[in-house]
Chain A
Amino acid sequence: MSKLSTSSSEIDLDRPNIEDYLPSGSIQEPRGKLRLRDLLDISPTLTEAAGAIVDDSFTRCFKSIPPEPWNWNVYLFPLWCLGVVVRYGFLFPLRVLVLTIGWIIFLSCYFPVHTLLKGNDKLRKKLERGLVELICSFFVASWTGVIKYHGPRPSMRPRQVFVTNHTSMIDFIVLEQMTAFAVIMQKHPGWVGLLQSTILESLGCIWFNRSESKDRGIVARKLREHVEGADNNPLLIFPEGTCVNNHYSVMFKKGAFELGCTVCPIAIKYNKIFVDAFWNSRKQSFTTHLLQLMTSWTVVCDVWYLEPQNLKPGETPIEFAERVRDIISVRAGLKKVPWDGYLKYSRPSPKHRERKQESFAESVLRRLEEK
């Protein structure tokens, strides 16, 4: 990680050298006098390209690995059928009922509190926090979720942010059940967006739009303001920027790590024993995803609140982000890949190609000098 450019708001300029991570065993540093053969031999570059066509670590991050079917034999199959009947015919309606009750309670308490206590901010906020934690518990109950929390509960202190790996939007619900975080998220369409603009707004949540590049400056400012305020709910950030399949972790964006405050890592690992909690937003809407969870036996996951970290002297925000990603990945058993999650939505910047071109050009010119 030798060449790190000065920090800029470009998301693609602030990456550690990808070449350090990518398999490039086939490219040795060529030596000796340059010959025609060396110029014409494009086999290393072609090998890399073909290797990427055959398998690449980026696509692996977003692959939903289907569970192995187990209902193979004469008694397991009827058992499984019975299970389906129980899940869809009994559990699911019960869960819908629980969730509906939860929403009724929530909405009937929330709106009075929100409008009537307009003057008394402190009390209002406290009640709203409690109510959001309540509705999240209802959500978790609607999957009969088994969530084990390890480590000290987050406390409300200024100048700290929480970062965690991202598998699905239910990460937010799982964490929110315990502590009323303010979260920074992508603005979604549909009923989720409605919830975002009304209720979650009161928690102090911050919204952004991935596709708006101007947004980044505004968001950075909002982050800073939020963190300074002593009274604000602790801020939760998903530095990966997108949902990953809980087997890998993609690069963390440095935004959370250059606010000059303590970063508290949280690791979330879902147990796929009954259902895969990865929300493949390309394949299903959030509603479908929720329904899938609600018709499974249960959602099992572990949440670890890890030791708060600070920027070490001489460490850049990117190195800090990588260090924290390491801590979280080790705890949650995730493999690290050197990709920016936003590559799901856009092409890689020409900078990467340029680095390869630069290194080849340099090698040619250098060897030309050798006689």
Chain B
Amino acid sequence: MGSASSMLTQYDIEEVQEHCNYLFTQQEIVSLYKRFCQLDKNAKGFISADEFLSVPEFAMNPLSQRLLKLVDGLNFKDFVAFLSAFSAKATVPQKIELIFKIYDSDCNGKVTFNDIIQVLHDLTGSFMSDKQREEVLSQLLHEAGYTRESYLLLDDFVKILDNPGLKMEVDVPDD
């Protein structure tokens, strides 16, 4: 699957499907490829941050910078693997794993009080003060049985978020 080709072979599709753990159908992979080629304006084989940001709906999203860290420069196979967390077939723990990655910006497997504050800052901007954010988070952590010094691991996230369940799906259009 070269960067310049705009046609996927059956082998390519199967390879990508395997890489994303069969969370997308072959038809969805073909549609995603069309979309990938549309965003990758000069057929480099990956989509640059700038090209992602040229989609206004993405650029306006408060978490766009964090997502960009995960998705910038991915080739098509990894692009599909990234999006597979949003497939209807993905399990809730798989989705929570992506959420955990967004919080864990230094990728050390632990989410600290500060990590959560950073994300909260992206989500609330100037409409909450730092003090308010820290107070709210401290209070909620305490109520859930954690402290400011606690590290949250992936299992903690699963425990907290999978209750009552999580909906995080996108539909891949087929035109």
List A residues at the B interface (Cβ < 8 Å). Answer: 22, 26, 34-37, 39-43, 45-59, 63, 339, 343, 347-348, 352-354, 356-358, 360-362, 364-365, 368
Q: What residues of chain A lie closer than 8 Å to B132, measured between beta carbons?
A: 365
Q: What residues of chain A lie closer than 8 Å to B167, measured between beta carbons?
A: 26, 43, 47
Indicate if the CB atoms of A50 and B119 lie closer than 8 Å: no
Indicate if the CB atoms of B125 and A361 lie closer than 8 Å: yes
27 chain-A/chain-B pairs, Cβ below 8 angstroms: A26-B167, A39-B120, A41-B161, A42-B63, A42-B119, A45-B63, A47-B167, A47-B168, A52-B55, A52-B57, A53-B83, A54-B173, A56-B56, A59-B38, A59-B55, A347-B56, A348-B59, A354-B125, A356-B61, A357-B125, A357-B126, A357-B127, A358-B127, A360-B124, A361-B123, A364-B124, A365-B128
Q: What residues of chain B lie closer than 8 Å to A343, measured between beta carbons?
A: 56
Indicate if the CB atoms of B136 and A39 lie closer than 8 Å: yes
Those of B50-75 within 8 Å (CB) of chain A: 52-53, 55-64, 67, 71
Indicate if the CB atoms of A50 and B125 lie closer than 8 Å: no
Number of residues in B with C-beta < 8 Å to the partner? 54
Q: What residues of chain A lie closer than 8 Å to B136, measured between beta carbons?
A: 34, 39, 364, 368
Name A357's closest neighbour in chain B (CB-CB): B125
Q: A45-B62, A54-B170 are in contact. Are A361 and B83 (CB under 8 A)?
A: no
Interface of A is mostly: helix
Q: What 10 pairs across the A-B complex have the smallest Cβ distances?
A: A357-B125, A361-B127, A52-B57, A361-B124, A43-B168, A52-B58, A352-B60, A36-B144, A36-B140, A49-B61
Distance in angstroms between the alpha carbons of A343 and B56 in the assembled complex:
7
B143 contacts partner chain A, Cβ-Cβ < 8 Å = yes
Query: Within the complex, which residue of B56, B128, B168 is in contact with A361, where a contact is CB–CB below 8 Å?
Result: B128
Indicate if the CB atoms of A56 and B102 lie closer than 8 Å: no
Indicate if the CB atoms of B137 and A39 lie closer than 8 Å: yes
